[in-house]
Amino acid sequence: MRRREFITLLGGAAAWPLVARAQQAARLPTIGFLGAATASAWEPWTAAFVRRLRELGWIEGHNLTIEYRWAEGRSERFDEIATEFVRLKVDVVVTGGNAAIAVKRVTSVIPIVFVLAVDPVGMGLVASLSHPGGNVTGLSNQQSDTAGKRVELLREVVPDLHRLAIMASIGFPEAVQEAATFR
């Protein structure tokens, strides 16, 4: 073997690990999606979520990964799933208001986007609506602010209404908060 061929061969062999490393796929941005119920119950919302991401140029499996986890109606699973997302080093967590509390307990670094919370300030998710601060943000419908108004409208529609029963789950913090406005 001639000297020049030998040096070319040796140089190529030395560069091989660098070429192999360069060909490894970079880690895609990852969304941790924590659903409070089951996949089938959330299907319309997850489909809309994925559709909107696609409209914005984020395509699952192409330039984005979504890690779905389902609590299946068991709120005690929120902490376990939140811890798993931290271990997986997801780039952002998308979830509902109550589950966001569990995620906030386990990370102050990973951004958390809650889909809906009735009172994010009262729940301790954000410092204020105008300046949430920290790593948590999302959408609030401030439903409890309108609870009294709904009863007023009902009294106008049914003027002879003397008693009203409201049924709510005490396991659902937003319902408890809204019911408190009727006292």
What CATH number did the domain enclosing 119 receive?
3.40.50.2300
**Is the pTM above the cut of 0.85?**
no
Same domain, 78 and 89: yes
Are 71 and 90 in the same domain? Answer: yes
Angle at which helix 97-106 crosses helix 77-88, to 10 degrees, equals 50
- Cβ-based neighbours of 56, under 8 Å, separated by 6 or more: none
Residue 114 host element (H or E): strand 112-117
Would you state the pLDDT for residue 26? 81
Which residue bears the tokens 């914005």?
Answer: 56
**117 forms bridges with which residues in the sheet?**
140
Arithmetic mean of pLDDT, 109-132: 86
159 and 132 both lie in a single domain: no
Number of compact structural domains in the chain: 2
- The Cα 42–Cα 106 span in angstroms is 24
| pLDDT higher than threshold 60 for residue 2 | no
Q: Give the mean model confidence (pLDDT) for residues 135-145.
A: 78
Residue 4 within any structural domain of the chain: no
Residues 89 and 39 grouped into a single domain = yes
Mean per-residue pLDDT for 98-127? 89
Pair 85, 35 in one domain: yes
Whether residues 74 and 109 share a domain: the answer is yes
Q: Are residues 164 and 90 in the same domain?
A: no
Is the domain of 122 the same as that of 153?
A: no
62: number of Cβ within 10 Å:
10
* Domain membership of residue 61 as a residue range: 30-141
| Alpha-carbon gap, residue 10 to 3, rounded angstroms | 10
Are 137 and 164 in a shared domain?
A: no
Judged against a pLDDT cut of 70, whether residue 156 lies above it is answered with yes
- In this predicted model, which residue has the larger pLDDT, 59 or 98? 59
pLDDT band at 55 (very low <50, low <70, confident <90, very high): very high
Please tell me whether residues 156 and 121 are part of one structural domain: no
Least confidently predicted of 30-39, 47-56, 172-181: 172-181
**How confident is the model over 28-37, as a mean pLDDT?**
95
What does the block give as tokens for 176?
């408890």
Same domain, 160 and 104: no
Token pair of 11 as six digits: 């140089």
